[in-house]
Amino acid sequence: MNKLAVVALGGNALLRAGQEGTIEEQQENVYNTCKYLLDLITPEHNFIMVHGNGPQVGNILLQNHAGSKVHGIPEMPLDVCGAYSQGFIGYLIEQQLRNILPTKDLEKGVVNLITQVLVDKNDTAFKKPTKPIGPYYTKEEAEKLSVETNSLFQEDPDGIGWRKIVPSPLPIQIGNSKVIEKLARDGHIVVAAGGGGIPVYYDENKQLRGIDAVIDKDHTSALLASQINADEFYIFTDLKRIIIEDGSADGKVLEVIPIAEAKKYLDEGRFSAGGMAPKVKGAITFIENGGSECIFIHFPDRSDEPIYQTRIVR
């Protein structure tokens, strides 16, 4: 029986820092990402792809705001913007996979599922937004947008710029998880729970409702991997190295991290809340629920750039 893997692709693997965000840029990035992924994942694997949407959903919100301001078009809530991003990113991934599969002599179905993910509307994350989305701004630009859109902005810990931050509640249940698992185990490539999934909750009448938030795709990926008993969990990230300060100029490069050590670094606040922390938490969740290891992979910007891996192990 083929191994089942869950692969989490960061939104930055699809839209790079400094790019304008044109469809041509994103098509090229998606093609390169999927080609690299199919080079890494053997034909003996079945797999599910969960993509991020941080840059894209932020851009959709800006388009929303501009359309409302200039043309009076009603603005859509954040959960609907997340659904938009699921649809168009899923379309790009499915299309490029279908372009690449024949070159690998692989015959697989590609299925893109718009996925709702249950959250707790009383999650403390709604009182303390931490999830960065959208493009980077200067401090002055962020302050202006904050007033115009009634939004919160925060400086990137690496000093790249300022980004909008939104609530990021923990996922509780992945919608259609059994369907996702069945399709994947049957040999189809499944793109699901994009952007961490559309955040929903049950109201007092037991009706599903959307809620303004962006679920971290690494938490959602880890939960999905655990719920379907995946064999492997991969996280693609734009971070080339996971480095911990140890008093030296360069710090300590982490290539293999035992789970106990990863927890210690989390407790010490060594990982940023909007960056590596949710990825490490996702890895820990997967391992604590039966997984053997989580593999972090830096997706190279150029073909001549080395590929870095960090593994969190039991």
* Catalytic positions, written as ranges: 11-12, 131, 217, 279
Alpha-carbon gap, residue 94 to 86, rounded angstroms: 12
At residue 185, the 3 state secondary structure works out as helix
Alpha-carbon gap, residue 78 to 61, rounded angstroms: 7
Nearest to residue 30, comparing CAs of 70, 115, 108, 89?
89
The set of residues, in sequence order, having a beta carbon less than 8 Å from that of 103 and lying 6+ positions away, is none
At residue 13, the 3 state secondary structure works out as helix
213 C-beta neighbours (distance < 10 Å), count: 26
| Residues across the chain | 314
- Indicate left, alpha or beta for 207 from its phi (over 0: left) and psi (-120 to 50: alpha): beta
